[in-house]
Homo-oligomer: A and B are copies of this chain.
């Protein structure tokens, strides 16, 4: 019997680079096929774009609402199964809700919504449809060596976590005068939430309080492009999070350092295949994807032998693979290894707390999701 391929309807993704990233990531393992879409609000553009992807004309829609409606009426063996939402952020929440309401699985690019209120509405929608699978994209947790770091923390290799430093430094905003004036999303949303999710994914810790300095470095930027945040993590542990898009000359400099009572871990996204393990009292080790000493999870998140570099798209595709398994097995997504809507909601609460902290120049509590609100779902 042939392997099942999930049928995708895509919303957005004709502009920018992220739509292409999703398509490459879906294509890589042959687990998804795009069968429907509304790729732009510009109907003609969407039409041309979809046709070029080989999508039948009658499944290129004028709006996501139309797509949700029409597809839900197609025969079960034909209609789209997963909505992949890669529009600009303001449309995320409404689009998510439209597809959830009709029982479609949803993959939504980060951030989940524009603010916590919107995010909570998405969560409510998810809670009210227990059969719906939902994935929020925070792709950095898809890297095998990030999963290895998580395994090592969980198994006590570095003892009790004492401190975490997450830095996400980009410099492109310095280079692109036009973007810097039109871009309306802050570095906290654009990269800070990635750093936050990475930190939480690896350590299992949450952020309780923040003390943030948020500002603008590039002259014309419409929103804060630089944020430096002191963190108080679960049980009083300390942390630092730096999120900047105006760090001249930096590429995509996401780095995580975790220090525990028995050792440290250092991972850098631009050399994603390596994880430095710094055990107290012994020489440093360099763990590599496909190499020795890896956890089962890290081993499974790998496609080709070590030394043959995997990268960003492969990590991204790991998310899609985990979501595919979730959709096809119908398992409990509380243990499924991909980011959830709750991660997105907490990211927005983190941003809100940082902005308030910066404005009031004091420590501010992060209003994390009340776990009792989760019912049977972790989304």
Interface residues of A (CB under 8 A from B): 1-3, 5, 17, 20-21, 23-24, 27-30, 51-55, 158, 162-163, 165, 169-172, 174-175, 211, 213, 215, 217, 226, 228, 230, 232, 238, 240, 242, 244, 246-253, 257, 259-264, 269-273, 277-288, 290-293, 303-314, 361-363
Contact = CB atoms under 8 A, between A and B. Distances in A.
Contact of A286 (B213, B272, B283): B283
Contacts of A257: 169, 247
B158 A248 contact: yes
Contacts of A251: 288, 290-291, 306-307
B284 A263 contact: no
A158 to B, nearest CB: 7
Contact of A264 (B20, B29, B248): B248
A264 B54 contact: no
Contact of A313 (B215, B263, B314): B314
A225 to B, nearest CB: 10
A206 to B, nearest CB: 17
Interface centre among A17, A230, A272 (most CB of B within 10 A): A230
Contacts of A306: 251-252
Contacts of A240: 228, 240, 242
Given A248-B260, A249-B280, A252-B307, 5 more contacts: A213-B230, A247-B259, A249-B263, A283-B286, A285-B285
Contact of A29 (B2, B21, B27): B27
Query: What 6 A-B pairs are tightest by C-beta distance, nearest first?
Result: A249-B278, A252-B307, A251-B307, A309-B311, A249-B264, A311-B311
Nearest to A2: B54
Contact of A248 (B55, B226, B247, B259): B259
Contacts of A263: 248-249
A157 B309 CA distance: 28
A310 B307 contact: no
B308 A244 contact: no
A283 B279 contact: no
Contacts of A23: 30
Given A5-B54, A230-B228, A278-B248, A313 B28 contact: yes
B284 A249 contact: yes
Given A24-B303, A249-B264, A308-B252, A283 B287 contact: yes
Given A240-B228, A314-B313, A280 B174 contact: yes
Given A3-B53, A217-B163, A303-B313, A248 B272 contact: no
A251 to B, nearest CB: 3
A283 B283 contact: no
Given A54-B2, A251-B307, A238 B215 contact: yes
Given A211-B213, A230-B211, A238-B215, A2 B53 contact: yes
Given A24-B29, A162-B217, A292 B281 contact: yes
A293 to B, nearest CB: 5
A240 B312 CA distance: 29
